[in-house]
Chains A and B, each alone.
Chain A
Amino acid sequence: GRAQPRPRPAAAMQFMLLFSRQGKLRLQKWYVPLSDKEKKKITRELVQTVLARKPKMCSFLEWRDLKIVYKRYASLYFCCAIEDQDNELITLEIIHRYVELLDKYFGSVCELDIIFNFEKAYFILDEFLLGGEVQETSKKNVLKAIEQADLLQEEAETPRSVLEEIGLT
């Protein structure tokens, strides 16, 4: 019999998780439909596994019937799951590209930026990857799309300016 229930794959990348050194989840993006319970289980298992690895170990590991590619940037771990035939190195490049995008957007990004603006981190990811596939290989285009979408967000974006709205400043 099969050892583990197989998450039904539907994309090159199955999911991406960002978590801190303390094991706190900072972002999760699932490109395969899974129940909340299953997601939690996978997250818990992977966070533990990755955090238990020694710092100088390579970035890949086999897990269930998937390949896990992860990389640590400062206090954050970026962790992706791909399928057996997928390319680990290009996945590392995807992770790196995403970090670069965050960095450009926030201006030398740190964990706190992602915590306090987590929805932005998602928006950036969504312009870069769609359904687990790279949708835009040009950094410039991704950032341009985000900036323009941000422009559409009016004053409602910063609730403090509500004061301005009712003339209290």
Chain B
Amino acid sequence: MALKMVKGSIDRMFDKNLQDLVRGIRNHKEDEAKYISQCIDEIKQELKQDNIAVKANAVCKLTYLQMLGYDISWAAFNIIEVMSASKFTFKRIGYLAASQCFHEGTDVIMLTTNQIRKDLSSPSQYDTGVALTGLSCFVTPDLARDLANDIMTLMSHTKPYIRKKAVLIMYKVFLKYPESLRPAFPRLKEKLEDPDPGVQSAAVNVICELARRNPKNYLSLAPLFFKLMTSSTNNWVLIKIIKLFGALTPLEPRLGKKLIEPLTNLIHSTSAMSLLYECVNTVIAVLISLSSGMPNHSASIQLCVQKLRILIEDSDQNLKYLGLLAMSKILRTHPKSVQAHKDLVLQCLDDKDESIRLRALDLLYGMVSKKNLVEIVKKLMSHVDKAEGTTYRDELLTKIIDICSQCNYQHITNFQWYISVLVELTRLEGTRHGHLIAAQMLDVAIRVKAIRKFAVSQMSALLDRAHLVASSTQRNGICEVLYAAAWICGEFSEHLQEPQQTLEAMLRPKVTTLPGHIQAVYVQNVVKLYAAILQQKEQAAEPEAAQDVTQLMVERLPQFVQSADLEVQERASCILQLVKHIQKLQAKDVPVAEEVSALFAGELNPVAPKAQKKVPVPEGLDLDAWINEPPSDSESEDEKPKAIFHEEEQRHVKQRQPEADEEELARRREARKQEQANNPFYIKSSPSPQKRYQDLPGVEHIPVVQIDLSVPLKVPGMPASDQYVKLEEERRQRQRLEKDRKKKKKKDKERKGRARRRGSLLSESDEDVAPAQQVDIVTEEMPENALPSDEDDKDPNDPYRALDIDLDRPLADSEKLPVQKHRNADTSKSPEKEHVPVTEKKPKKPKKKEKKLREK
């Protein structure tokens, strides 16, 4: 025996310990992988030995290697061996390794249940502590179920050190085994008033976390928490409680009124920034949820905004950032209070810290109005030019687009200006957001009918200098705008001044270097242009000119027929044949323009992206009911698919639980989506406006608004939007004069009436600025009886859903936690008898030192 010990010790002397391993790795920078694989071989040898100290040392090294990214899951069983060592030194290492690498998929984890239970009831609080800590990392549903009762018992342990750990880990147990919540909750609630502040704060932590996810079940605790909040001086606890109240208030508005006072007091008095920040955030949340029915409502908002301004003005970047972040929350409901600090926000756009600039950008989004949009966008455009990194520049670009397009272009009064902004943005090289600009161009051109003529002129200019846009590599995302330009020029070709010129631009050889999907659009729209030109020429009785265009098409289309892109190739071949046919007809002097144009007849209407999904199910129609009775069991043998359907049907009919049905429905919906995605004939709802040509006779009714021709229609090359800024200002000036004149008249008329409503109060309010062009199709087409609700935003995988449990209902016997009595009774007396997977043969008796500690 003694010899064996000595031998073991000598062995150990030559083993590497952790420090040796770390040093070794540092000394083998050249061939680290090789060195480590050597070490792992050594470790494998060490793990085969009986000596637990050697094993623990090996496991400790493995834990280090795991951090470096090496897989150590193969050693899971050895880790359990070390966990079950009787010496705390080793046990600690075993549990550390387990907490670093065990997860729900670790199959040997089920072997640990008894060992952990033994450690939980160990007379040494450090054994218990280490087991609780480890469990907090790798608890599985099985472990949670089997150990819930043991842990719950520990919540009443004599030592606060154990109590607080047990309380905290209960939260993890609830998540894994929701059935434990109701039986354990009364004791957890008791802990809110534990004499030890650490245990109390742990209980606050857990209940706050629970309540944040399912606030309605915890409303009854509000008075208790209110007492805690007004009495506690611990900032960590206060922050949790305040957050909890933030979650409770929307459900119980009366709470909000009670809360505001203590919170504002804290805001005034605290010196801890973290607490101040939490209070401000909660006050904002409370005020938002209560909207107006609050006394001193606006005073509280003002207080928050003031405090946030101080944060934003602070030299500490962190406070600046958070100040802006919180400001954006106020902005959503109280834009006016925030807009007063526009200067500050614009100032932050110049901050050297990009993350602060981005926050400021977020705020700008909500600060724009009809009046200041142009000014703000101008400022942003100047930042675009100055921006260093592409990331920030791209962010600016998206923000400009977001700001302008928000709420159906609510703030845009002049779309000529907007289109010229978009055109200016195409000069950005290397942006990833070409498709965003393109989408905007398409959207505006389609939905703002009055702007089409202007849009077409700008787009044709863009096509004309496509070589600039697409000059650099294919990666250049900006060439996406050519997609939009080509489509707009084709679709609205009737507005083109020089269609022939545009047609030639679109047929240039250089076009074949564009990405396939853009070429495809080119090919398709070339035909639309061609049709328009034919019509024009035939009407003007210029058959030769018409034939020339056809000839041009016949000459240039083959370059697309040769394309490697199937779509381009296919379209081009079809169209080439068509054109050749037209050429034959033209040779016989047959008029063709009418028929060619018929290919593209009809008006285009945008359809809401979710329109199809929102068609309500007609009353009396059960989509899940069988149309034909499913085949009976006897038949199901021969055909497999039938059997599957049959099974499904049975499950459906028998389980009438609403939850199961919901799951089933969700699954089916998913399956349907999959199927639709794979079905090329299914018309998907896509965010881009769908093309629908209709044979409606309504084309004549399109309101064509006369465009102010004082505006130069082509502004190639130079920054254009500025011109429109001036024009817009002039227009507004005219409008204002006009209005004033009308107002005077009105005043004269209704002198005694209450004629001055808002006109005189807000002398130049936003509503007064009438747009130059209207967004014609503001509400996109929706099916009749469409449902407005958006059900798709709910997350069915929310892990907290299972914890939505009524806690006030009395506990039934069946709900009590499973208890394994015989084990609990034994363990403290003779822990060594437990069956544990230990190879350590003779656990040493506790040393004297250890004994002393135990006796304490």
Contact = CB atoms under 8 A, between A and B. Distances in A.
B201 A137 contact: yes
Given A40-B69, A153-B89, A166 B9 contact: yes
Q: Chain A interface residue count: which class?
A: 35 or more
B318 A159 contact: no
Nearest to B23: A116
A119 B202 contact: no
B168 A133 contact: yes
8 contacts: A10-B799, A36-B73, A36-B103, A57-B317, A131-B172, A145-B161, A159-B13, A166-B10
B318 A8 contact: no
Nearest to B320: A58
B243 A85 contact: yes
Q: Is the interface of A mostly helix, strand, loop or mixed?
A: mixed
Interface residues of B, number: 85
Nearest to B236: A137
A151 interface: yes
A10 B172 contact: yes
A149 B125 CA distance: 9
Contact of B353 (A35, A58, A135): A58
Contacts of B281: 87
B198 A137 contact: yes
Contact of B318 (A30, A60, A137, A141): A60
Interface of B: 6, 9-10, 12-13, 15, 17-19, 22, 53, 57, 60, 63-64, 67-69, 71, 73, 87-90, 92-93, 96, 99-101, 103-105, 124, 126, 129-130, 132-133, 136-138, 161, 164-165, 168-169, 171-172, 175, 197-198, 201-202, 205-206, 209, 212, 234-236, 239, 243, 246, 273-274, 277-278, 281, 317-318, 320-322, 352-356, 797, 799, 847, 849-850, 853
A149 B88 contact: yes
Contacts of B64: 118
B689 to A, nearest CB: 20
Interface in A18-69: 25-28, 30-31, 33-36, 40, 54, 56-61
Contact of B165 (A28, A130, A149): A130
B105 A35 contact: yes
A8 B15 CA distance: 41
A33 B318 contact: no
A137 to B, nearest CB: 5
A36 B103 CA distance: 9
A57 B320 CA distance: 11
Given A87-B274, A116-B19, A119-B63, A162 B9 contact: yes
Contacts of B88: 149, 152-153
Given A27-B67, A28-B67, 15 more contacts: A10-B172, A25-B69, A56-B353, A58-B353, A58-B355, A60-B355, A89-B277, A92-B318, A115-B22, A130-B133, A133-B171, A145-B129, A149-B92, A152-B89, A165-B9
Contacts of A3: none
Q: Which 8 A-B pairs have the closest CB atoms?
A: A89-B274, A58-B317, A131-B136, A152-B88, A58-B321, A153-B89, A90-B274, A126-B133
Given A89-B273, A135-B164, A157 B322 contact: no
Contact of A25 (B68, B161, B206, B355): B68
Given A12-B209, A116-B18, A126-B133, A58 B171 contact: no
A23 B198 CA distance: 36
A131 B274 contact: no
Given A10-B172, A138-B198, A152 B126 contact: yes
Contacts of B68: 25
